[in-house]
Each structure stands twice: as structure tokens, then as C-alpha cells.
Amino acid sequence: MSKSKVKYSSSKEYIDESRNELVLTEFEVLNAEATDFPGNHHGFDDSWSFEKFKKRLKINIVRMENMEIEFDLIGVDPAIPNAFRRILLSDIPTMAFDKVFMFNNTSIIQDEVLAHRLGLIPLKADPRLFEFRAEDDDAGTPEDTLEFELKVKCSWNPQRTKDHTNPEHLYRDFRVLTSHLKWMPLGGQKDIFTPDAVGPVDDKILIAKMRPGHELDIKLHAMKGTGREHAKFSPVATAFYRLLPQVKLLKEVEGEAAQRLQKCFSPGVIDLVDSGEKKVAKVNDARYDICSRNVFRHEDLKEDTVKLTRARDHFIFYIESTGALAPEVLFTEAAKILSQKCRVFLDELKNGL
């Protein structure tokens, strides 16, 4: 394992660091090697202990909004957050338009393009209240299908004048929006759901633009599916994680050098505080540093001035929902699916033995 450009006071410091941190140097990343199994290091008792794992595991919510959540997942191996990420992208089901019946389309958008665009419209419908539709079923049932209708015809505005040039004044219904989608309840669905509970996430999503004489007459079936089948069924706009950045100043940096040091990092990472006649650099919050390593471009700063590391078991996790389920619910559903996958795998091992 290379130790170039990094100094250690003792072998113990180096071993402890390799267990807990990745070190970013000018040209390489140290301590990035994988071990035989998660948490295992030579010379330490890293045998599995549920109590020890439970004590280390922490989930701290940093920010939670309507469609987004950012939280810290601490005390796990990278395989765990990566499993959550993959499940969020491809294994949690949602409802999306999968069957499009076009009775009339005189707009300039081809049928295939329009059908694809309609399929990508996110719906509020809670997928947990529906079943998966059988492959050979074209009609659908109230238990597995939501039916919508899209009937729009563009026409001239009778109140227009010859001076009008704005389409808002010239035409009626020239913009086809998701607000034009009309829910057609099947069976007893109207006693269970409301149009606001199963309709599009946003009523102002643009579907098409038309001119007088253009018309759309379409019936749509929304079905339950997963991201493994098609990206339109993925419940997240994005889901990713990164290791917690750490910035340590090894010596005091002041004056012009402190200003240059501040510019090497993302805004808010380094602050300048007054210390007599000069300003001194101080680490404010390394959390949002992008680890660009620009500091190594300055000869007077890269040697024994700053140490850049990342925590091995501290993951910053970010989820942005498309709107069907809240982001915190999505993570809970991902945990349930992961638990189920583990049970199936253990059963396979047991039966195989």
C-alpha cells in the first residue's frame, strides 16, 4: 500500500486510518483496497457481532422536503447503500401509462413519440393499492388498471383581432397539458379514490402543442410495473450516495494564502476569520466539498498544509421522488425489499444444503 506524500507518526496511526478513511493525495487515492469481507482488517478482531453492528449503525436525516430527502447512513459497508440505490431505481413498483389507444391524432407528433411522452408522465397513484396486471390481459380490471382519457381539439379564438400575434390570443387549447387528462373510474374505483389521488403529479406538464384543426382522442391505461421493465416505472428521479468528505488543516494558513485556500474548495467549506491584522483559514463545513483537489495545484499549500480524506463508513444518501410516494417512504420500501431478498437467499442456501 503506497504511502507517498503522506506522513504518519506511527504504524498504529496508519492502520487506524486505513480502517476508517480514504486519503486523497495529488495523484492517487490511498486505502481504497477492499478487504476479505466488510469490516475485516488484519490484526484486529473484526468477527461479526450483531450488537456491535447495531451500535455503529446510525441514520441521521439532514434535510427532508416534499420530494427530496438527504440523510447520513453511518456504520455500514458500501455494499449496503449500493443495494438500496439499485432497489430504489429498479425494484420499487409505480403506476405509469403502458397501454395507449389512439383513436385520432392529427397533431405533428408521431403516434410512437406521443405514446412514449405520455408514458413518462409521473402519476400520484399509490402502487401499493394495485396489483400487477397479467401479461395476456388487454382490458384490465379495477384492481390493476387506471383508465384515463385525453380529448383535446385546437380551434381559433373567435375574439382574436388582426393585431394579435400571441398564440394565447389566437388559439384555444393549443397547449395540451396533463390537466387535460380525465380519469375514467373502472368498477368501484370512484368509491376508493379521488381524481387528485390518482392523477398526474403536476397538472402543468406539457404534452404537445397544436394549431387549429389538430385534435387528440386517446385512451390510456396506467399499470403497475418496476424500473427493471422500463425507466418510466422508476419511482425516483435520482438516487445516489457519496462518502463524507473530510478536510483537515495541518497548520495555520493566513493572509493571501488563506484566500487562495478558500477558493480551492466549494463555497462554505473554508471560512476566513479575523486574527489581528490578517485573516486565518478555518474549516467551516467539509460536507459539501466536491473533493476537486485543486489545493494541490499550489506548491506552498500542498505540502503538509491540508489533508483530504473521506470516511469509509459514512455515506451521504440523497433521494428525489417522482411524486407517487414520499422519499422517506421509498427508502422504507427499499429496506423491506432488501430484507425479503435476503430471506429468499437464505432459504435457497438452506434448501441447497
The residues pairing with 270 across neighbouring beta strands, listed in sequence order, are 283
In terms of pLDDT, which residue wins out, 272 or 276? 272
The residue type at 239? A
Of 213, 231, 249, the domain-final residue: 231
Q: Is 277 among the domain residues?
A: yes
pLDDT tens-digit map of 104-139 = 999 999 999 999 999 999 999 999 999 999 888 888
Residues 222 and 268 in one domain: no
The CA distance from 54 to 38, in Å, is: 15
Q: Is 7 among the domain residues?
A: no
| Buried-state track 21-30, b at ≥16 Cβ within 10 A, e below 16 | bbbbbeeeeb
The CA distance from 133 to 93, in Å, is: 12
Residue 274's domain comprises 16-35+55-87+239-317
Residues 104 and 222 in one domain: yes
Q: Is 346 among the domain residues?
A: no
The residue type at 54? K
* Position 6 pLDDT exceeds 80: no
Residues 117 and 213 in one domain: yes
Residues 106 and 218 in one domain: yes
Residues 6+ apart with CB under 8 A from 337: 87, 91, 92
* Position 12 pLDDT exceeds 70: no
pLDDT tens-digit map of 22-42 = 889 889 888 877 665 555 666
The CA distance from 56 to 54, in Å, is: 6
Total number of domains in the chain: 2
DSSP string for residues in 266-328 = -TTSEEEEEETTEEEEEE---TT-----GGGGSHHHHTTTEEEEEEEEEEEEEEEE-SSS-HH
Cα-Cα-Cα-Cα torsion 15, 17, 20, 25, nearest 10 degrees, comes to -130
Q: What is the pTM of this model?
A: 0.85
What cell numbers appear for 270 in the block? 473554508
Residues 127 and 252 in one domain: no
Which three-class secondary structure state does DSSP give residue 15? helix
